Structure 1
Amino acid sequence: MDKKTRKVELYGQTFIIDIKGSHNNTWQGTILWVQKQKKESFRSTLELIRLLDSAVETVKEEEQKN
């Protein structure tokens, strides 16, 4: 699999997902949360989904505080 980069926007937040490859039929790579300048590595598609879910929950909690 060739390296692929995708831009994803959720709840007003931008994420740059860099898929470096796949192993055992799942993706590995990094995700950058643009607004927070946080970069995390992921070792599976499920881990990527969990990182996105965690970021969205953080945004929702911050919105509720305001």
Structure 2
Amino acid sequence: MDGLASGFIPYEIKTSLVKITSYADRELRGTLYNPYFARELRFSNALQFLALVEELLDAIGCPQKAMETPGFRSARCESAPEEDAHERPALATFKLNVLFRQNASWQGRLVWLEKKSETQFRSVLELLMILDNVLS
């Protein structure tokens, strides 16, 4: 029986790998990898990154939303089109673990793999500010 179908969600599914390949003009570009998707998904801006993570969290059902997000969105978020045939080197790589989704935001842990340092974030805005601080 599939772990997700049985209600058990393996730790590996709860943790995503985020590779930032470009931050020119503070425009977040990179890839998101999670075993649930079984492939790297590209994003070309911060909103696309957040939408991909939100879609993943909804798909695995963990952590559960404390409230529904208001809005008009009904279309599925798509990965950014592939720009280069060759792989770009990562500026920074992070392990992202969203522990809670409360107050229409996320709370969790971010591990910067190159520096072997870990921090927690209490909101999506704080997560983006941490990424900006590392990449600027």
TM-score when scaled to structure 2? 0.39
Distance (Å, rounded) in 2 between the aligned partners of 1:8 and 1:54:
16
Q: Percent identity?
A: 34
Q: Which aligned segments of 4 or more residues in structure 1 are displaced greater than 6 angstroms?
A: none
| 5+ long unaligned stretches in structure 2 | 1-8, 22-89
> Are residue 55 (structure 1) and residue 134 (structure 2) matched?
yes
Distance (Å, rounded) in 2 between the aligned partners of 1:15 and 1:7:
6
Q: Which residue of 1 aligns with 2:104?
A: 25
Q: Which residue of 2 aligns with 1:9?
A: 19
Aligned length in residues: 56
Higher helix share: 1
User: Which has the greater radius of gyration?
Assistant: 2
Distance (Å, rounded) in 2 between the aligned partners of 1:50 and 1:44:
10
Q: Which residue of 2 aligns with 1:34?
A: 113
| 5+ long unaligned stretches in structure 1 | 58-66
Following superposition, the deviation at residue 54 of structure 1 comes to 0.7
TM-score when scaled to structure 1? 0.76
- Is the partner of 2:96 in helix, strand or coil? strand
1:7-65 Cα distance to aligned partner (Å, 9 max, x none): 111142110110001110100000000000110000000000010111111xxxxxxxx
Higher strand share: 1
